[in-house]
């Protein structure tokens, strides 16, 4: 390509007598400015680099002219590199466009947008690229995948998200939206004689995973009730499905779990709600699930994050506006992931305890972070007023809400 352009320059800028083939291509040298050629013609155009070919066709080329000048060498090298650069750029763009967006979630009703949007294909349509869905049991495991670069976006409880944000000094993630409020409770066997917190002394209570949102809420509640977790009450991190099995076997005094496991423990395990977590919060609102994005992905793919949030808002509105249809879609996904659908009554009851929302509830989220710090889940000496700055970034969310004529939500 470089030689072709050089030939074109020569043919356009000189008479036919000087239209000589440039073979071998790098013979001769370039000189700027006026020069006199063997044909007696003078070429004065300063924009034209004149070729001093020293009659190389007759074999009388001087040794110094047989070596390419630095200018000509650089020009020819650059021109020859252009096609390779273009090919590399095109291939890179095509590869980037084909890369899937990796989204994590749990098979929980509190992650309804992920389940319903996955069934509807809304995220695939809005993102314009394939979505690779990854399913987790609880937040800490999902955050391990995110920090390892195996996730781009995730639906997760607020405590694991805040924990990772603080431990990474803000380099790991951003909370960009809310997903659910409510939908968590402490369930005990219906036949249990427990009637007050002190009755749990010497007993065993389960939570889905060490350090997850329900685990923090349980331990903080025990501590405020004058009970020391691990000493007065055994707190056992157990997967939700195993909690149900142990609950049926009478091996647990209680379990602090999210929906649909609250309702399943009641209906399938013969349990009753001892404490609905909503009663511990002002206005009965607290974040059960939020949406986080890996910071590096956010910075490189801001438009894709915007499209994701657009889909998230669309699915949230559709769930709240079509509860019956949304429940059906949600149940289909739960059946696919868990092996069987929930009974209709179980699904309806579970959804009744959950508020599907886009608001990250930044105030209660900060309160939950303070509880985690008091329990030793966050780095000792952490100044939350400083450390949490920037954890909730609702810039894109509020732009989309404004476009929909909806009120803005609070970040921090």
Sorted by where each begins, the domain ranges of the chain are 2-95, 104-182+284-403, 184-282
Residue 77 has what pLDDT?
A: 63
Mean pLDDT (10-residue bins), the chain, 412 residues: 44 41 39 43 39 40 50 60 53 56 94 95 93 92 96 95 94 98 97 97 96 94 97 96 97 96 97 97 94 97 97 98 94 89 94 96 94 90 91 97 97 84
pLDDT at 155: 98
C-alpha gyration radius of the chain:
33
Residue carrying structure tokens 């066997």: 189
Measured over the CA atoms of residue 35, residue 36, residue 38 and residue 41, the dihedral's sign is: positive
* pLDDT for res 76: 60
Q: To which residue do tokens 């979630």 refer?
A: 105
DSSP string covering 129-194? S-EEEEE-SSHHHHHHHHHTTS-SEEEE-HHHHHHHHHHTTT-SEEEEEEEEEE-EEEEEETT---
Q: Is the pTM of this model over 0.75?
A: no
Structure tokens at 331: 């149940």
Q: What is the predicted pLDDT for the residue at 4?
A: 45
Strand, coil or helix: 272? strand
pLDDT of the residue at 90: 47
CATH node for 184-282: 3.40.190.10
Q: Enumerate the β-bridge partners of residue 180.
A: 289, 356
List C-alpha distances in Å: 386 to 96, 281, 361, 373, 390.
36, 24, 18, 14, 9
Look-up of token digits 């440039």: 22
Q: Which residues contact 260 (CB under 8 A, 6 or more apart)?
A: 108, 109, 334, 342, 346, 347, 350
Distances (CA, A) of 171 to 139, 294, 387: 18, 9, 12
Per-residue burial over 238-272, b = 16 or more CB atoms within 10 Å of its CB, e = otherwise: bebeebbebbeeeebbbbbbbbbbbbbbbbebebe
Common-topology check for domains 104-182+284-403 and 184-282: yes
- What is the reported pLDDT for 172? 97
pLDDT at 381: 85
Query: Can you tell me whether residue 257 is helix, strand or coil?
Result: strand
Distance, CA of 160 to CA of 168 (rounded, Å)? 12
Tell me: domain 104-182+284-403, CATH 1.10.3090.10, correct? no
Backbone φ and ψ of 17, nearest 5° = -65, -25
CA distance 255 to 261: 10
């Amino acid at each position: 390509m470089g030689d072709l352009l050089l030939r074109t320059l020569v043919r356009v800028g000189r008479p036919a007598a000087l239209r000589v083939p440039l073979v071998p291509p790098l013979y001769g040298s370039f000189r700027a400015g006026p020069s006199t050629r063997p044909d007696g013609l003078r070429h004065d155009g300063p924009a034209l680099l004149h070729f001093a070919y020293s009659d190389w066709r007759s074999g009388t080329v001087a040794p110094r002219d047989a070596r390419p000048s630095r200018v000509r060498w650089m020009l020819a090298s650059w021109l020859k590199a252009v096609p390779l650069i273009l090919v590399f750029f095109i291939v890179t763009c095509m590869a980037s466009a084909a890369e899937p967006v990796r989204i994590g979630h749990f098979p929980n009703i509190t992650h309804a947008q992920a389940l319903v949007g996955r069934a509807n294909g809304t995220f695939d349509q809005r993102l314009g690229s394939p979505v690779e869905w990854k399913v987790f049991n609880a937040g800490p495991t999902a955050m391990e995948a995110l920090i390892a670069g195996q996730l781009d976006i995730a639906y997760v409880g607020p405590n694991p998200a805040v924990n990772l944000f603080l431990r990474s000094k803000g380099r790991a993630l951003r909370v960009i939206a809310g997903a659910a409020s409510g939908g968590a409770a402490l369930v005990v066997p219906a036949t249990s004689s427990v009637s007050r917190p002190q009755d749990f002394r010497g007993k065993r209570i389960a939570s889905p995973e060490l350090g997850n949102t329900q685990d923090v809420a349980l331990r903080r509640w025990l501590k405020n009730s004058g009970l020391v977790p691990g000493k007065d009450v055994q707190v056992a991190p157990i997967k939700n499905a195993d909690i149900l099995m142990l609950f049926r076997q009478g091996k647990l005094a209680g379990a602090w779990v999210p929906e649909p496991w609250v309702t399943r423990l009641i209906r399938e395990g013969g349990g009753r709600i001892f404490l609905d977590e909503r009663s511990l919060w002002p206005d009965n609102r607290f974040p059960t699930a939020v949406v986080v994005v890996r910071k590096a992905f956010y910075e490189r793919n801001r438009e894709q994050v915007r499209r994701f949030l657009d889909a998230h808002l669309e699915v949230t509105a559709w769930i709240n506006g079509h509860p019956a249809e949304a429940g059906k879609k949600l149940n289909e996904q739960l059946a696919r992931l868990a092996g069987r659908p929930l009974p209709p009554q179980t699904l309806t009851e579970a959804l009744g305890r959950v508020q599907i929302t886009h608001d990250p509830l930044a105030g209660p989220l900060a309160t939950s972070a303070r509880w985690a710090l008091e329990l030793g889940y966050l780095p000792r000496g952490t100044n939350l007023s400083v450390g949490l700055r920037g954890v909730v970034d609702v810039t894109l969310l509020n732009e989309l809400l404004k476009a929909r004529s909806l009120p803005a939500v609070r970040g921090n």
